[in-house]
Amino acid sequence: MKTAAELELQSYVLLRLGERRFALAAREIAELVAPSRVFRFPQQTKEIEGVILRRGRIVPVCDVSERLLGNKLTSRRFYLLAARKYGEHTEWVALPVSGECELINAEMMPAGESDSNHVAGWLSHGAEVIEVLDLEALTPGPGTLSTHHPEVSAAQEARP
């Protein structure tokens, strides 16, 4: 039989950005991949630096360290592919990280009113208190759309 405290435990992935560690709910993580070529093309969403190709999918790369630490990562060891929700459906986004990731079970303390909107909560792990990130607040999405565009499917067959 589980205790009440055990029931609250959830899995989180700890990721390193520079000198700091952050956490994401493990259910939001698809995989950790080695850095690959970033393809850049003209676009105006400044948080997105380009796209990578992964298993036939084209995945946008979003360096969240600029927002979290104030500067871009100088070295990238991996891309953490996270599942970002956009309303009803989910798409991958690649987050560059600068070190190994770790899977832990912990109890999350909810974010306070004074916390930034990208903070979903807090974890106490070892001697550290770690921010749990809210991907929807941290990465760009239709909330910042300047014009209306019809919804399109994630992948569509080319038109003849």
Partner 1 sequence: MQLSAHAKIRGPRAEQIILFRISGQLFAVSSASVQEVRGVDSLAGMAQEIPLSTIRKVRHSVRRGEGTLYVVNGGVHFGLPPSAATLVFFLRNTRVALLVDGIDRMSSMTQLQAMSHAFCHEERRWYRGLTALDQTVVPVVDPSGFLSLEELSLLEKAMEARNLGSEAGETYRQ
* Cα 142 from chain centre: 16
- Check binding of 117 to partner 1 (CB under 8 A): no
Largest Cα–Cα distance in the chain? 59
Nearer to partner 1, 49 or 115 (CB): 49
Nearer to partner 1, 2 or 159 (CB): 159
Rg (CA), the chain: 17
Name residues contacting partner 1, limited to 5-24 (CB under 8 A).
none
The string of DSSP letters for 66-132 reads: HHHHSS--S---EEEEEEEEETTEEEEEEEEESS--EEEEEPPEEPPTTS-TTEEEEEEETTEEEEE
Q: Minimum Å distance from CB 3 to partner 1?
A: 40
Name residues contacting partner 1, limited to 55-114 (CB under 8 A).
56-60, 62, 84, 86, 91, 93
Quick one: which segment of 73-81, 107-115, 122-130, 142-150 binds partner 1 (CB under 8 A)? 142-150
- Check binding of 34 to partner 1 (CB under 8 A): no
